[in-house]
Chain A
Amino acid sequence: MKRQAVHSLVALALMALTGALVTVPLGLSEIPLRVDFESLPDGLPGWRPTDRSAGDALPPDPRAPRRVTRAYEREGHLLWATVEYYPSQDEARRAAARGLVIPAHGWSQIAERRVRIPVAAAAGGQLEVNLVTLERQAGRVGIVYWYQIAQQPLASDHWYRVELLYNGLVRGRTDGALIRVASPMETNEDSGAVLARHADFLREFYPLLLRSLPR
Chain B
Amino acid sequence: MTTATADVHLVRDRATWVWFLPPWLAALALYAQLFPALVSEWAKFPSLSHGFAIPFIAGYLLWARRDLLRVLPFEPNAWGLPVMVLGLLGLVVGVRGDEPFVARISLPVTLFGLALFLGGWRITRQVWAAIAYLLFMIPLPWATVKLVTYRSRLFDADASAYLLGWLGVPVYQDGVMLHLANISLEVADDCSSIPAIAALLSLGVAYAAVARRPLWVRLVLIGATLPFAIGANIVRITSTAAGAYWIGPWTLHTSYHMFNGTVNFLFTFMMLMALDWVLSRWVDRRPA
Interface residues of A (CB under 8 A from B): 1, 3-8, 10-12, 14-19, 21-22, 26, 89-91, 96, 98-99, 102, 108-112, 133, 135, 157-158, 161, 164-165, 168-169, 174
Residue B181 lies at the interface, judged by CB distance under 8 Å to chain A: no
Q: Which 9 interchain pairs have the tightest Cβ spacing?
A: A110-B175, A11-B23, A15-B26, A157-B143, A8-B19, A98-B146, A165-B97, A7-B76, A18-B88
Bound-state Cα–Cα, A96 to B27, Å: 32
Complex interface residues of chain B between 82 and 118 (CB less than 8 A to chain A): 84-85, 88, 91-93, 95-100, 102, 114, 117-118
Minimum CB distance partner of A24 in chain B = B96
Bound-state Cα–Cα, A164 to B197, Å: 29
The A interface, classified by DSSP as helix, strand, loop or mixed, is helix
Bound-state Cα–Cα, A98 to B150, Å: 10
A100 smallest CB distance to B (angstroms): 11
Interface range, B side? 35 or more
Cβ A14 vs Cβ B177 within 8 A: no
Bound-state Cα–Cα, A17 to B177, Å: 53
Contact partner of A12 (CB less than 8 A), chosen from B22, B91, B142, is: B22
Cβ A4 vs Cβ B96 within 8 A: no
Inter-chain contacts of A165 with B (CB < 8 A): 93, 97, 99, 102
Inter-chain contacts of A135 with B (CB < 8 A): 174-175, 177
Inter-chain contacts of A158 with B (CB < 8 A): 141, 143-144
Cβ B118 vs Cβ A168 within 8 A: no
A21-B22 contact in complex given A4-B16, A98-B146, A158-B143, C-beta closer than 8 Å:
no
A97 smallest CB distance to B (angstroms): 8
Inter-chain contacts of B85 with A (CB < 8 A): 14
A96-B19 contact in complex given A91-B100, A110-B175, C-beta closer than 8 Å:
no
A64 smallest CB distance to B (angstroms): 17
Inter-chain contacts of B146 with A (CB < 8 A): 98-99, 102, 157
A110-B177 contact in complex given A21-B96, A102-B146, C-beta closer than 8 Å:
yes
Bound-state Cα–Cα, A143 to B149, Å: 19
Inter-chain contacts of B177 with A (CB < 8 A): 108, 110, 135
Contact partner of A18 (CB less than 8 A), chosen from B30, B76, B147, is: B30
Cβ A11 vs Cβ B175 within 8 A: no
Residue B176 lies at the interface, judged by CB distance under 8 Å to chain A: yes
A1 smallest CB distance to B (angstroms): 6
Cβ B19 vs Cβ A110 within 8 A: no
Cβ B23 vs Cβ A12 within 8 A: yes
Bound-state Cα–Cα, A17 to B27, Å: 12
Contact partner of B174 (CB less than 8 A), chosen from A4, A12, A18, A110, is: A110
Inter-chain contacts of B150 with A (CB < 8 A): 102, 109, 112
Bound-state Cα–Cα, A111 to B176, Å: 8
Residue B62 lies at the interface, judged by CB distance under 8 Å to chain A: no
Inter-chain contacts of A96 with B (CB < 8 A): 142-143
Bound-state Cα–Cα, A164 to B141, Å: 15
Residue B20 lies at the interface, judged by CB distance under 8 Å to chain A: yes
Known: A10-B117, A22-B92, A133-B175. 5 other contacts (CB 8 A): A4-B19, A10-B81, A12-B26, A26-B96, A157-B146
Complex interface residues of chain B between 167 and 200 (CB less than 8 A to chain A): 174-177, 186, 188
Cβ A22 vs Cβ B91 within 8 A: yes
Cβ B19 vs Cβ A5 within 8 A: yes
Bound-state Cα–Cα, A132 to B70, Å: 58
Minimum CB distance partner of B87 in chain A = A18
Complex interface residues of chain B between 1 and 50 (CB less than 8 A to chain A): 15-16, 19-20, 22-23, 26-27, 29-30, 33
Inter-chain contacts of A110 with B (CB < 8 A): 174-177
Bound-state Cα–Cα, A110 to B177, Å: 7
Bound-state Cα–Cα, A14 to B97, Å: 20
Q: List 23 A-B contacts (CB under 8 A).
A: A1-B16, A8-B118, A11-B23, A11-B114, A11-B117, A19-B29, A21-B92, A22-B95, A96-B143, A98-B143, A98-B146, A99-B142, A108-B188, A109-B150, A110-B175, A135-B175, A135-B177, A158-B141, A164-B97, A165-B102, A168-B96, A168-B97, A169-B96
